[in-house]
Amino acid sequence: MLKKEYPYYLANEAVYANQDLKIYDKYSGELAAVAPLATPDVLDQAIGAACDAAEAMAKMPMFERQAVLEHCVTRFRERFDELAYALCVEAGKPINDAKGEVTRLIDTFKIAAEETARQYGETIPLDISARAKGYSGMTKRVPIGPCAFISPFNFPLNLAAHKVAPAIAAGCPFVLKPASLTPIGAILIGEILAETNLPKGAFSILPCRRDSADLLTEDDRLKLLSFTGSPDVGWQLKARAGKKPVVLELGGNAACVVDKDWDLEDAVARIIFGAFYQSGQSCIGVQRIYVHRDVYATFKEKLVAKTKALKSGDPKDPQTFIGPMISEAEASRLHGWINDAVAAGATLLCGGDREGTMLQATLLENVDSSQAVCAEEAFGPVAVLAPFDDFDVVIKDINNSRFGLQAGIFTRDLYQAQKAWDELEVGGVVIGDIPSWRVDHMPYGGVKDSGLGREGIRWAMEDMTELRLMVIRNPFQ
């Protein structure tokens, strides 16, 4: 069960400052809990505390940082059901998906504990000419300093973890703003971090309104901004971030190709999951499906049948596959996109109806590529189908997008797989599976409007550290 009231965490300490943030059950609409909202002066205190903690964090021995992360892994396991239930309520995430996210949370902190011990430097021979005789160099990575993190609503635990865990591993204090619609997961991470011996000020976890969070972007005391969320917001933040490096993970309209040589039952099963798990609210959810014309009719028939059979309803029911969208406004927005596509000539294959936050799993075909449901990020339970004849052409069709996060290619043809990897303008190409596939130690991120930089613990730690060179002169050589 959820508590009725949660704190925020300011400089490692729980603070019950107010009850201004109302957290609702996304399925029933009932008030589930309350938490405080941080004001700009609280953010200022948190940044100051992080600056004060920076030296202690940088000097914290590797084994102590590992112990913090390992403690979190142990406590996440002990509180597994509580964490999953919180996701189910605050995000409307079907309970099986919620349990999967808790498993990934554990994985992410485990990987970070391991990577703490892998921050290697290298030696560099410098004597490339006579003037450099007797000189050698070596490098190491040092913490960048206090970091600002902003995480989204759709993976309240694991996307926060992808910022928090590498920061601890790298030795960086941080201030995290979780999504106001889904703050409980991040607050529970804070509750467990508060049990550790992190230096005072090493972390603050502060839900706040977007218009109160300007310091996270603009304050020069913060040395890195890492944001996961919508493209429009992300690029605005980058423009205001000043000199600090910025990492952006901004989503997309992921494409999936099914070639004629692939087992259709397998492709349908994976695409059903990729398009509709957690109501399609994933930045790498399958949105555009291209199927070879030779198998298109059979594939479509199987996919429509499986989609119609998906159970919608209460996310607390283990049989539920389609739960609510995050808000009625988001469900209404996507419902409007579906209706616009149909009005413009698209064929509705199944779904298309909405009741409150519940939008049916929807498939469309004959959708003009300029329609929002195809060209923009749907972020909901809808996918569009189209046949293709020529693999080269479908590569160009996929690239005809302002996004480029991941793509999935179901093919047994080695050369087509290589071509997809060579030519698709995306951050990752998944062969034999959906673009929605991710494990938490791989480099993950996109190009074009899908963002900047890569997450995945080792790559995040590179962003959270700086390379420092030492040159040594031996005058006796």
pLDDT digits (tens, 9 = 90+) for 134-165: 999 999 999 999 999 999 999 999 999 999 99
* CA gap 344, 371 in Å, rounded: 8
Rg (CA), the chain: 24
**453 contacts: CB under 8 Å, gap ≥ 6:** 246, 247, 248, 249, 445, 459, 463
Vertex 263: Cα angle to 262 and 268 (nearest 5): 105
The model's pTM is: 0.96
Mean pLDDT of the chain: 97
Name the token pair of 268: 């349908």
Q: What is the pLDDT of residues 231-260, one digit of tens each?
A: 999 999 999 999 999 999 998 999 999 999
pLDDT at 109 (0 to 100): 98
pLDDT for residue 477 is more than 90: no
| pLDDT confidence of residue 336 | 98
Residue 63 — pLDDT band, cuts 50, 70, 90?
very high
Summarize the confidence of residues 76-105 as an average pLDDT: 97
pLDDT computed for residue 1 by the predictor: 74
- CB 33, CB 2: distance < 8 Å: yes
pLDDT above 90 (res 451): yes
Distance CA 342, CA 356 (A): 21
115 pLDDT band (50/70/90 cuts)?
A: very high
The answer, yes or no, to whether residue 33 has pLDDT greater than 90, is yes
- Please give the average per-residue pLDDT across 394-410, as a whole number: 98
Rounded mean pLDDT of 48-67?
A: 98
Tens digit of each residue's pLDDT (9 = 90 or more) over 266-307: 999 999 999 999 999 999 999 999 999 999 999 999 999 999
Closest CA to 271 of 150, 158, 62, 434: 434
Q: Which residues contact 236 (CB under 8 A, 6 or more apart)?
A: none
Once rounded to an integer, what is the mean pLDDT over residues 53-72? 98
Residues classed as catalytic: 249, 283
Q: What confidence score (pLDDT) does residue 211 get?
A: 87
Residue with tokens 């790298």: 170
